[in-house]
Structure 1
Amino acid sequence: MSDFKYNNGFGNHFESEAIPQTLPSRGNAPQKVARGLYAEQISGTAFTAPRSKNQRSWLYRIRPSVNHQPFKPYESAKRVISSFHPFSPNIVPTPQQLRWDPLNVSDAGDVDFVDGLTTLAGAGDSQTKNGLAIHIYCATKSMEKRAFYNSDGDMLIVPQQVALIIKTEFGRLHVPPLHIAVVQRGLKFKVDLAEPADATRPARGFICETFKGHFELPDLGPIGANGLANPKDFEYPVAAFEDTNEDWTVINKFMGSFYTFQQDHSPFDVVAFSGNYVPYRYDLLKFNTIGSISYDHPDPSIFTVLTCPTDSPGTAVCDFVIFPPRWLVAEDTFRPPYFHRNCMSEFMGNICGVYDAKAEGFLPGGASLHNMNSAHGPDAETFEKASNAQLKPAKVGEGSMSFMFESAYQLATTKWAIEESGKLQQDYWKAWSGLKKHFSG
């Protein structure tokens, strides 16, 4: 959309002014800010975090964020949780391989992004800043004069159907399907729908909420300087502000509960900003896919767009992995994903089309979960077809896009996902029951 403007470059320090000559000429918090604005810093890391990891932004706004009425409990969001201990009444842990039909929240009614949030799985606890949660959203209307911010973690948003307009304190992001957006901990935003939606075709998508750290680009190692997601393709908003005296409701997610307060002005009143703690979007079709051009099937880590690392090198709270259209040319190789038992947990979602490792049942808007050490792989039909195919260069996945949230944690599923959604495929295990014995001695 032509009225959306962006800065480019992953993790850069950005400066943006909706009105020229607003940013301070020296320092970040002068005695008096230009145009009678307030200087306000929001930090995404500890003050003393290493310089290479330190994230913060200075906002120059019409009113400071503290200018609001008291917090009150917000009761509408009852299907969202941020604590996954095994004795929680909302949790149904299982090692069983799971798959869901397209996920709609049928009892949600006419709801916006916040009230349409529902948790599927997760690990850890937001209070100790360790772990993650996986949600879906299902919305039929825009947020209007409502804003939201999450004190529990960063939110990686994956639209599956209906484009979103995400208005943030830093400016606007247009996020249609086949794009993603990341809105970090503590940043206020609202989600409007860029096209009509209703109960038969709601705005729908997936969210990975990380309680620890932030998403970053994976190291490329022997791949070299180029490949996978290029830093220049990440887009950040430019400053845009509202100067209005209207009543707004602001909703806050804090320790898994929701709270709200009222204020008499727009929360999107930032005239200028400076820093590197800024929300962003990315077009998944710009991913530079890497693969084998000789033999064997590389590990799916070659499809990693973003990673949110733990304290153990190479081990992630979440790797965000995609399976885009790509050429397969490897010789003498079983080309679909191989059978495996992973020390990571794999939550997959289908954005559009047909995923090449499943013959049927994994539909757009649907999802699957293969938890830590639970065996999985191609279904029987895919195995037989791939084992006997003539191995010519072939392009797979045209018109399709699937993704994976891969985590080092065991993912506990929610009671809603297992017992209440009505979308869990009870016979998913049969996808492998047709695998035959071919042993010839």
Structure 2
Amino acid sequence: MEERRATKDEFKYLTGFGNEFSSEDERCPGALPVGQNNPQRCPYGLYAEQLSGTSFTAPRFRNRRSWLYRIRPSVVHKPFVPIDCAPRLDYAWDAAPPTPNQLRWKPFDVPTRQAAEMDFVQGLHTICGAGDCRARQGIAVHVYLCNASMKDRALYNADGDFLIVPQLGALLITTEFGKIRCEPNEICVIQQGMRFNVAVSGPSRGYILEVFDDHFQLPELGPIGANGLANPRDFQTPVACYEDRETDYEIVCKYHGKLFAAQQDHSPFDVVAWHGNYVPFKYHLDKFMVVNTVSFDHCDPSIFTVLTCPSGKVGTAAADFVIFPPRWSVQEHTFRPPYYHRNCMSEFMGLIKGRYEAKEESFHPGGASLHSIMTPHGPDASCFETASNCELKPERVADGTQAFMFETSYSMTVTNWAAKLSNKLDDDYYKCWQSLEKHFSF
């Protein structure tokens, strides 16, 4: 793979997924050591620092780590102290009573500057989750609702990985590895321990899937073969772009589901060169290769999986990120929308843009729904009647739409904020199925 470098004001990307990457800031040619990982003296007087995302003894095919060559090592900071700058970040799963009901939320409100400035960290709101980040098992689903940039503040997540799904407003994410611009209809994964800063240009809203068990990876393709779904070459990693800036900087750490802050006198984004396979990355959802022609019955939604995070049970994901993109729908002798369904997984859905085909009039961008384990769900009454009587022929579906699903084997609990304080829970959601008629005849 040919390396492409970026100037200070450019944001270019290396492409690939799961391989060894390398990058150095073009202002410091030769900053990346050649032939050894940790020389006695690094070029330009840099410090070598390894960031490990897996245990040292993990099998080679899944061992993840990167070497960072930086102006100062990340250990140069004052002690962490507890803070509460994100009061809606909540992992107290036992604090709210469980409910098996189908749940849907109207679009979550984005703060206005007239009310107050709120950055990405302050705007984190937990909707639901399960498990224990201390035991490295479980997930959490959040939304971020913000209107201001993080300024001289960086965040890192010691508990797990963040998969970020912007819905409103572009995010300019500065990482230790370089800069990533992530817009609606793109996703970005910031892996455990990576420091990052989010800048916005206005009101911004999006979804976050957080996993504790492992890291996101591409699903196996099985009978599909070598090509299909998300292709490795379409994932992008940033180019090294260091800051040598001495200023008061706050490092926010999310640890055991709580936030802590440490002060230091310089920017944490001082990595001049790096190499490894443990990197932040982004992906444009338009690049997904859909596989779906139905002769009878219906394919399971797993054919739309972009990324998966495995659990300890073979073939069962801790979490899948699934999309329902624009596509040709070709059916024979079968019902075209999703069938009514009960599942041993929890399904959290969001809408980035457009109108979701199974709930065209009532599911809105910036909102969400949750169908818990074994809770029945499926098309609303209008969708069922239309699909049952239409001519089956090849047709385009979901043009101008991008819906997604966070699917997990964990049974999730909804937080008090999502259930009550947000005032966005739709109490009438169940009514969309009440007009389904009896068609039985004997």
User: What is the deviation of 1:26?
Assistant: 2.6
Partner of 2:100: 95
User: What is the deviation of 1:255?
Assistant: 0.3
- 1:385 match: secondary structure: helix
Distance in 1 between the 2:170 and 2:97 partners?
Answer: 33
Distance in 1 between the 2:78 and 2:255 partners?
Answer: 17
Residue 4 of structure 1 aligns with an amino acid whose one-letter code is: F
Task: Tell me, yes or no, if the aligned pair for 1:99 and 1:366 is still in contact at 8 Å.
Answer: yes
Task: Tell me, yes or no, if the aligned pair for 2:310 and 2:319 is still in contact at 8 Å.
Answer: yes
Distance in 2 between the 1:247 and 1:424 partners?
Answer: 41
Alignment of structure 1 residues 192-207 onto 2, 5 Å: 192-193=199-200, 195=201, 197=202, 202-207=203-208
User: What is the deviation of 1:176?
Assistant: 0.4
User: What is the deviation of 1:295?
Assistant: 3.0
Task: Tell me, yes or no, if the aligned pair for 1:58 and 1:273 is still in contact at 8 Å.
Answer: yes
Task: Tell me, yes or no, if the aligned pair for 1:359 and 1:381 is still in contact at 8 Å.
Answer: no
Counterpart check, 1:141 vs 2:148: yes
User: What is the deviation of 1:342?
Assistant: 0.5
Partner of 1:227: 228
User: What is the deviation of 1:3?
Assistant: 2.2
Partner of 2:3: none
Partner of 2:171: 164
Residue 96 of structure 1 aligns with an amino acid whose one-letter code is: N
Counterpart check, 1:79 vs 2:88: yes
Counterpart check, 1:44 vs 2:53: yes
Counterpart check, 1:386 vs 2:387: yes
User: What is the deviation of 1:120?
Assistant: 0.1
Distance in 1 between the 2:165 and 2:315 partners?
Answer: 24
Alignment of structure 1 residues 35-434 onto 2, 5 Å: 35-84=44-93, 88-89=94-95, 91-104=96-109, 109-193=116-200, 195=201, 197=202, 202-434=203-435
- 1:156 match: secondary structure: strand
User: What is the deviation of 1:106?
Assistant: 5.6
Q: Tell me the TM-score normalised to structure 2 length.
A: 0.96
Residue 61 of structure 1 aligns with an amino acid whose one-letter code is: R
Distance in 1 between the 2:38 and 2:10 partners?
Answer: 31
Identical positions, percent: 57
Distance in 2 between the 1:189 and 1:62 partners?
Answer: 17
Distance in 2 between the 1:241 and 1:432 partners?
Answer: 54
Task: Tell me, yes or no, if the aligned pair for 1:105 and 1:116 is still in contact at 8 Å.
Answer: no
User: What is the deviation of 1:103?
Assistant: 1.2
- 2:377 match: secondary structure: coil
Deviations 1:401-434 (A, max 9, x none): 0000000010110011001110000010001101
Residue 72 of structure 2 aligns with an amino acid whose one-letter code is: R
- 1:377 match: secondary structure: coil
Deviations 1:351-373 (A, max 9, x none): 00000111321001010000000
Residue 211 of structure 2 aligns with an amino acid whose one-letter code is: T
User: What is the deviation of 1:250?
Assistant: 1.0
Q: Which runs of 5+ in 2 are unaligned?
A: 1-5
Residue 124 of structure 2 aligns with an amino acid whose one-letter code is: L
- 2:302 match: secondary structure: helix
Residue 99 of structure 1 aligns with an amino acid whose one-letter code is: R
User: What is the deviation of 1:313?
Assistant: 1.6
Distance in 1 between the 2:256 and 2:97 partners?
Answer: 20
Residue 240 of structure 1 aligns with an amino acid whose one-letter code is: C
Deviations 1:300-357 (A, max 9, x none): 0000000001011211111000000011111111000100100100000000000011
Distance in 1 between the 2:38 and 2:185 partners?
Answer: 39
Deviations 1:103-145 (A, max 9, x none): 1266983200000000000010111100000000011011111
- 1:222 match: secondary structure: helix
Task: Tell me, yes or no, if the aligned pair for 1:105 and 1:421 is still in contact at 8 Å.
Answer: no
Residue 179 of structure 2 aligns with an amino acid whose one-letter code is: R
Distance in 2 between the 1:80 and 1:384 partners?
Answer: 41
User: What is the deviation of 1:69?
Assistant: 1.0
- 1:52 match: secondary structure: helix
Task: Tell me, yes or no, if the aligned pair for 2:110 and 2:204 is still in contact at 8 Å.
Answer: no
User: What is the deviation of 1:224?
Assistant: 0.5
- 2:411 match: secondary structure: coil
Q: CA RMSD for the aligned pairs?
A: 1.4
Residue 73 of structure 2 aligns with an amino acid whose one-letter code is: P
Distance in 1 between the 2:91 and 2:388 partners?
Answer: 43
Q: Which runs of 5+ in 1 are unaligned?
A: none
Distance in 1 between the 2:39 and 2:104 partners?
Answer: 55
Residue 246 of structure 2 aligns with an amino acid whose one-letter code is: N
- 1:386 match: secondary structure: helix
- 1:329 match: secondary structure: strand
User: What is the deviation of 1:82?
Assistant: 3.2
- Indicate how the Cα distance of structure 1 residues 118 and 170 shifts in structure 2: closer, same or farther if over 3 A, else same: same
User: What is the deviation of 1:78?
Assistant: 1.3
Q: Tell me the TM-score normalised to structure 1 length.
A: 0.96
User: What is the deviation of 1:93?
Assistant: 1.6
Task: Tell me, yes or no, if the aligned pair for 1:83 and 1:256 is still in contact at 8 Å.
Answer: no
Say how many residue pairs are matched. 431
User: What is the deviation of 1:260?
Assistant: 0.3
